[in-house]
């Protein structure tokens, strides 16, 4: 029995690509600890756990819904035919129940945090679930994905404070352009497939060369706001060290992928960006409490 439960749990972890939480969670922690650095008396372990649960539930819902909404496309794409729904490891109906359950748990958790995040929770769900349909009608889908993940620093800050502030908004802008840029790189793999089914993406719209140029521009904007955040936050050396590594990794991934050679897309997409997010967030948080 336990073996079966473990196997099913593993299937759902694979369905939502749980490891990819590394893209959004570090910036949620930035938003949380910016707030705690300003209002240290508001820290409780339960609030921290609540923020983490919100991140997990929201991301589970978004990823599972994306797999559910795209199940027919995934079945036709050799790159994605192995995914749990087209491979019949998880039934579409079961995936949809998983989405509803995680959405409910997300809203319920926000209820116990504060009224503002509770009232805004349907807005967040609309953005992150709505992304799954954007490839059907706009090549700006990458920016919608970036917008969804960019809610994490603001949301975590609001969970602590109950009000908006400029600095976490700047970090959200960093996430918006960072994620949009590397999602374009990832989408290079499906340029021809997207064209064949009239799905919208920047590679399908512009071709590989121009798509990579667009990704570079978006990452340049992200790097610019890294500097803006540093100036606005009056940061110390730890922040700038982390910022330097983050920007260097942004640049590095563009040396890995070329219009004529996209064999290292996964290295650029997951490995490089995971390290970038984790290292940068660690540097930001350490700088908040150990400023030199």
Mean pLDDT on 142-158: 97
User: What are the sequence ranges of the domains in the chain?
Assistant: 21-289
Q: What is the pLDDT of residue 270?
A: 82
CATH topology of domain 21-289: Tetracycline Repressor; domain 2 (1.10.357)
pLDDT at 22 over 90: no
Per-residue confidence band for 14, with pLDDT thresholds at 50, 70 and 90: confident
Q: What is the pLDDT of residue 13?
A: 85
pTM: 0.95
Task: Report the alpha-carbon distance of residue 248 to residue 265 in Å, rounded.
Answer: 17
Kindly report, residue by residue over 240-292, the tens digit of the pLDDT. 999 999 999 999 999 999 999 999 998 888 889 999 999 999 999 999 999 76
Kindly report, residue by residue over 234-246, the tens digit of the pLDDT. 999 999 999 999 9
Q: What is the pLDDT of residue 141?
A: 97
pLDDT at 98 over 90: yes
Mean pLDDT on 165-188: 97
Mean pLDDT on 117-126: 98
pLDDT at 1 over 80: no
Q: Minimal CA–CA distance to 150: which of 174, 182, 118?
A: 174
């Amino acid at each position: 029995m336990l073996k079966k439960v473990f196997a099913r749990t593993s299937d759902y972890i694979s369905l939502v690509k749980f490891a990819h939480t590394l893209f959004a969670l570090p910036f949620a922690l930035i938003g949380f600890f910016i707030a705690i650095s300003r209002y240290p008396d508001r820290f409780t372990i339960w609030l921290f756990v609540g923020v983490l649960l919100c991140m997990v539930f929201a991301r589970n819902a978004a990823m599972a819904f994306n797999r559910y909404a795209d199940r027919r496309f995934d079945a036709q794409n050799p790159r994605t035919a192995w995914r749990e729904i087209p491979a019949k490891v998880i039934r579409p109906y079961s995936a949809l129940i998983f989405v509803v359950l995680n959405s409910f748990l997300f809203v319920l958790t926000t209820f116990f945090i504060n009224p503002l995040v509770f009232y805004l929770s349907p807005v967040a769900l609309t953005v992150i679930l709505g992304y799954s349909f954007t490839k059907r009608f706009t090549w700006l889908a990458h920016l919608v994905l970036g917008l969804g993940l960019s809610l994490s620093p603001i949301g975590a800050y609001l969970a602590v404070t109950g009000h908006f502030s400029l600095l976490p908004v700047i970090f959200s802008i960093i996430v918006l352009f960072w994620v949009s840029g590397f999602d374009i790189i990832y989408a290079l793999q499906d340029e021809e497939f997207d064209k064949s089914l009239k799905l919208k993406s920047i590679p399908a719209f512009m071709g590989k060369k121009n798509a990579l140029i667009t990704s570079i521009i978006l990452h340049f904007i992200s790097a610019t706001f890294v500097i803006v955040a540093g100036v606005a936050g009056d940061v110390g050396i730890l922040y700038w060290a982390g910022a330097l590594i983050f920007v260097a990794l942004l640049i590095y991934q563009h040396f890995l992928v070329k219009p004529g050679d996209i064999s290292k897309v996964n290295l650029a997409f997951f490995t490089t960006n995971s390290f970038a997010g984790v290292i940068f967030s660690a540097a930001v948080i350490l700088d908040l409490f150990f400023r030199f």
